[in-house]
Amino acid sequence: MFSEFIDRRAPGRYYISALNMDSSYLDIYAPLLLMFILAAGLAGVLVAASTLVGRHKHTREKDQPYECGITPTGDARAPFSVHFYLVALIFILFDIEAIFLYPWALVYHELKVFGFVEMMLYIMILLVGYIFLWKKGALDWS
Amino acid sequence: MSMIPVSWYLVLSAILFGLGVVAFVFKRNIITIFMSIELMLNAVNLAFVAFARAHNQLDGLVFVFFVIVVAAAEAAVGLAIIIMLAQNRESLNIERVNLLKF
Amino acid sequence: MIPLPAEQLLNLHRVAPEVVLCVFGIVIMVVDPFVQAAGRRALGWLAFIGALTALASVHLAAHFPGRAYSDLVNVDRFSIFVHVVVIGAASLAILGSLDYLEGEGLQRGEYYALVLFATAGMGILAGANELVTAFIGLEMSSISSYVLAGFRRRALPSNEASVKYFLLGSFATAFFLYGIAMVYGATGTTLISGIQTFLVSLPPSQHLPALAILGLGLIFVGLGFKVVVAPFQAYAPDVYEGAPTPVTALLASAPKVATFALMLRVFYVSFGSAQHLWFWVIWISAVLTMFIGNLGALMQTNVKRMLGYSSIAHAGYILVAFAASTDLGIAAALFYLSAYVLMKVGAFLVVTHLGQQGERRLAVADYAGLGMKQPVLAACFSLFLFSLLGLPVTGGFLGKFFAFQSALDAKIVWLVVIAGINSVIGAYYYLRVIIAMYFWEPSQDYTPTPVAPALSAALLVAAAGTLYLGLLPTRVLVLAKAAADSLSLLSLR
């Protein structure tokens, strides 16, 4: 369906080139795997050694939750304002909508004015949403 | 040739989807249930990308964009609905959503 | 490759109804914050005008049959028929909402904007020729519906309906999408007609690819949730009971029609060559749906919930026509859907009015003696109930008749027998409400409120439509047959 957007003169641009990474595909990951094993092994050895060899003495200070050396004040799980959720929701939406700009930018030169107009329409619709939530007071922080 | 075969991706995607279904059925916290749906949608994305690669097409990749955007819209609306329920009910346990039964 | 302006204009004509609905929705959204609370009602009328304009633009789209936007959208008689039914249902629901929202103190622009967006999504569903496009349409309608179901923000039942609808709806969506991915993997395309071409071109000796069958199964699960057929019906009565009643009127009617339309397209066109595979699935699902719907409705004392169960049962009757898998079956399903929309919206709008503020009066006992206190309203309600029950002279009767007839023609006798048994079971709970209205002693604490003009107009249209389909079905039936033919032309059978 979208094959017309693949550049015929230079097949392999954009996407197809990614397919050619076939030579020894797994081999290039072998060092990475080795590193994972080493890291996990080292961490495991250190933790095991400290529990096996080390002395265990519980004191009141030691059992307190650690907060950068400062005496902790109150519970770490304090509920926070619902405003944060609201801002997060709005952020997710406007953040994700930008995803369509990437493929558009890629074929912008081939779509010319048509693509430009369509994308402006799209952004206008987003703008309407923005005006709506601004006027509805979703951005007020009080 | 030692390329990772497409079937591996599909198996991974099926496992992720299955985990999502299991979590949806057995979890009790609404937010967790909601997250399991997101997991299922991401399994779908993985399947789309794997198939796009198998068919050597762009279509599957484009679909992923749409799935991501729709999943985000769904997430926003879903979280808003869940917050609304939490404010009125002060609990996120699905077993307390029990007003409508006969 | 660069789209010509003329081609763009043609494309725009073909999606005119959706464009109109979205533009009106957006305008309402923009205007809403600038309007005083007292003027919000005007936004409702604006939405109604928008729906009517969309109906008119369906007429425009009908002049340009064909495919738009690189085959993503289909404009044929089938999609036109479904468009008219869906947008008609939405405009009735808007009319019915005006005074309800006023009474509940919920008169807000978003409500109407959401209804219009949902309707646009259903329009896309009806015309989609591509599965991911269909998915976008499905989500447009679903996400709007989740919000609408929870529109009474302070009422816990409404909250719960919204949460349940959201969780199970998105769960179903994920299945639908995974199905699309599987079908795409098996066939290399998501075009509904492309899948068909692929499957038909397989050599007869070769079996259907397992991935495609798995995909079809998953798509059935996803769409089955949305059209509320067994075994995916569990959430529906809760959602229908908890949602604000005019929203229930919309949810129980329009999305069902649009999703059934998509289901018909996917099953008949894409997977027409695999009919032997899905026939039994539909058969079993139809039987389960009818029994669960009818037996569930028998036990209800709440009229709204009872109507919710009855809409499950009706999905089962439509599946009977579906199982016939003939042109006549599709035509019967379409006719049934149009009659169903009228009577269901009508019935729920009556419940809207009688529920009074806060939806307090929903029990069967609250309907006692209505025949004496509000004879016209009671007569209207009886008409809708008789039509749901399937008595002659109503659209519901002929819908059932054509559905069962088409199934008999296709020699699916047992399914028709079971459907007949179910119709008899259904008679009990519909008649109980009618008996309560006419023969029970009226309760003393009930003071009838006059029916608002907008609501009575909506009821009048629904009642007239139900009678029209029952008395003069020919015209609509011819249109439904033409729609079915346009679908089977595609299916090359």
Do A51 and A89 reside in the same domain of the chain?
Answer: no
Contact C34/A135, CB-based, under 8 Å?
yes
Do A52 and A84 reside in the same domain of the chain?
Answer: no
Interface mutation target, options B3, B38, B83, B85, chain A, most CBs of A under 10 Å: B3
User: Domain end: A27, A44, A78, which one?
Assistant: A78
Task: Provide the chain B residues 14-73 that lie in CB contact (below 8 A) with chain C.
Answer: 17, 20, 24, 30, 33-34, 37, 40-41, 43-44, 47-48, 50-51, 54-55, 57, 59-60, 63, 66-67, 70, 73
Taking only the tens place, the pLDDT of each residue in C422-466 is: 999 999 999 999 999 999 888 777 778 888 899 999 999 999 999
pLDDT grade for C90, boundaries at 50, 70 and 90: very high
What domain range includes position A141?
80-142
- pLDDT at C480 > cutoff 70: yes
Taking only the tens place, the pLDDT of each residue in C226-272 is: 999 988 888 999 999 999 999 999 999 999 999 999 999 999 888 88
Do A8 and A39 reside in the same domain of the chain?
Answer: yes
Query: How many CB atoms are located within 10 Å of the residue C326 CB?
Result: 18
Burial class (CB in 10 A: 0-12, 13-18, 19+), A97: middle
Do A95 and A113 reside in the same domain of the chain?
Answer: yes
The answer, for C121 touching chain B at a CB cutoff of 8 Å, is: no
Do A99 and A138 reside in the same domain of the chain?
Answer: yes
Do A6 and A28 reside in the same domain of the chain?
Answer: yes
pLDDT grade for B101, boundaries at 50, 70 and 90: low
Do A70 and A112 reside in the same domain of the chain?
Answer: no
Give residue B68's identity as a one-letter amino acid code: I
Note the pTM of the prediction, 2 decimals: 0.89
Q: Which two tokens stand for residue C47?
A: 């939405």
Q: ipTM value of the model? A: 0.94
The chains in contact with chain C, meaning 3 or more Cβ pairs closer than 8 Å, are: A, B
pLDDT grade for B51, boundaries at 50, 70 and 90: very high
Do A100 and A58 reside in the same domain of the chain?
Answer: no
Nearest to B49 by CA among B2, B8, B1, B3: B8
- pLDDT at C132 > cutoff 70: yes
Residue C169, CA distances (Å) to B76, C68, C138, C274, C485 in order: 15, 29, 10, 27, 32
Taking only the tens place, the pLDDT of each residue in C370-393 is: 888 889 999 999 999 999 999 888
Q: Tell me, rounded to whole angstroms, the distance of Cα C236 from its chain centroid.
A: 13
Do A58 and A48 reside in the same domain of the chain?
Answer: yes
- CB contact set of C428 (below 8 Å; sequence gap of 6+): C298
Give residue C235's identity as a one-letter amino acid code: Y
Q: How many domains does chain A have?
A: 2
Nearest to C130 by CA among C215, C57, C52, C195: C195
Which chain A positions have a beta carbon within 8 Å of B59's beta carbon?
1-2
Q: How far apart are CA B72 and CA C143, in angstroms?
A: 11
Burial class (CB in 10 A: 0-12, 13-18, 19+), C12: middle
Contact B78/C166, CB-based, under 8 Å?
yes
Mean pLDDT (whole number) for C462-482: 93
Do A65 and A100 reside in the same domain of the chain?
Answer: no
Is the Cα dihedral C23, C25, C31, C35 positive or negative? positive
Buried b (16+ CB within 10 A) or exposed e, C477-486: bebbbbbbbb
Q: How far apart are CA C291 and CA C174, in angstroms?
A: 27
Question: CB–CB of C230/C289 below 8 Å?
Answer: yes
Contact A135/C71, CB-based, under 8 Å?
no
Q: How far apart are CA C414 and CA C438, in angstroms?
A: 36
Give pLDDT, residue B72. Answer: 92
Ramachandran sector of residue C202 (left: φ over 0; alpha: ψ -120 to 50; beta: rest): beta
Do A102 and A68 reside in the same domain of the chain?
Answer: no
User: Domain end: A78, A100, A116, which one?
Assistant: A78
The H-or-E segment that residue C67 falls in is strand C66-68
- pLDDT at A1 > cutoff 80: no
User: Domain end: A31, A46, A78, which one?
Assistant: A78
Do A100 and A56 reside in the same domain of the chain?
Answer: no
Rounded to the nearest 5°, which phi and psi values hold at C74?
-110, 130
Mean pLDDT (whole number) for A52-81: 74
Give residue A78's identity as a one-letter amino acid code: A
Residue C457, CA distances (Å) to B94, C88, C95, C105, C462 in order: 41, 13, 8, 22, 9
Give residue C271's identity as a one-letter amino acid code: F
Give pLDDT, residue C112. Answer: 95
Query: How many CB atoms are located within 10 Å of the residue C104 CB?
Result: 18
Lowest-confidence region among A50-64, A119-133, C167-181, C329-343 = A50-64
Q: How far apart are the first and last CA of chain C?
A: 33
Question: CB–CB of C131/C78 below 8 Å?
Answer: no
Mean pLDDT (whole number) for A89-109: 87
Give residue B11's identity as a one-letter amino acid code: V
